[in-house]
Structure 1
Amino acid sequence: MLDKPILRLTVTRLVGPTAPVVAPQWLTGHLWSQARADDRLEHVRVRVAPGRIGVALFLLAAEETGARLSARSICARALGASDELRDWRLAE
């Protein structure tokens, strides 16, 4: 039997330059624009500070691993689709 999807919180960090900082509202919208239907994204929360960005994504997923993979995929697509984020990368 397949597990029923539940809302799962994933927390991801982006690291980058200390001087340029992106607007949290812009990044929230950008992450939404990179999400696909099969990511099952429900909510986005972003905190921006010099050199780091905290990204909290709430996704519907049956397993924690699937939620983490979707969250990292959304962030990776967002990084690759924006000049504003060209010097940023996913933290390990």
Structure 2
Amino acid sequence: MSDKPILRLTVTRLVGPAAAPEVAPQWLTGHLWGQARAEDRLEHVRVRVTPGRIGVALFLLAAEDRGARRSARSICARALDASDELRDWHLAE
């Protein structure tokens, strides 16, 4: 096994009330990019919004899956903390 970073896909879900105002996927994509730090090594973001659920696919450069998942959850947590639009949303377990 190599310690060389490779592109890794992580899928994270945000959950919220079904009656919450719809979040624009383009806005959330930009917001996630804005919360990423250099050490997260974020390469690509895809967002899918449905009532009460947001699917977030993040592609990150990481040496291991665990590190990629940790970075993805950190980016999403920072995005939730930094936005009034997402105040009723949280990371799915």
- The alignment's TM-score, normalised by the length of structure 2, stands at 0.96
Tell me which residue corresponds to 2:57. 56
Question: Which blocks of at least 5 consecutive residues in structure 2 are unaligned?
Answer: none
State the secondary structure of the residue aligned to 2:88: coil
CA distance in 1, matches of 2:9, 2:63: 12
Superposition pairs for residues 1-92 of structure 1, below 5 Å? 3-19=3-19, 20-92=21-93
Q: Work out the percentage of aligned pairs sharing the same amino acid.
A: 88
Unaligned runs of at least 5 residues, structure 1: none
Instruction: Figure out how many residues of one structure are paired with residues of the other and give that number.
Output: 92
Question: Residues 23-71 of structure 1, C-alpha deviation per residue, up to 9 Å, x if partnerless?
Answer: 0000000000000000000000000000000000000000000000000
1:87 is paired with a residue of what secondary structure?
Answer: coil
Detail structure 1 runs of 4+ shifted over 6 Å in the superposition: none
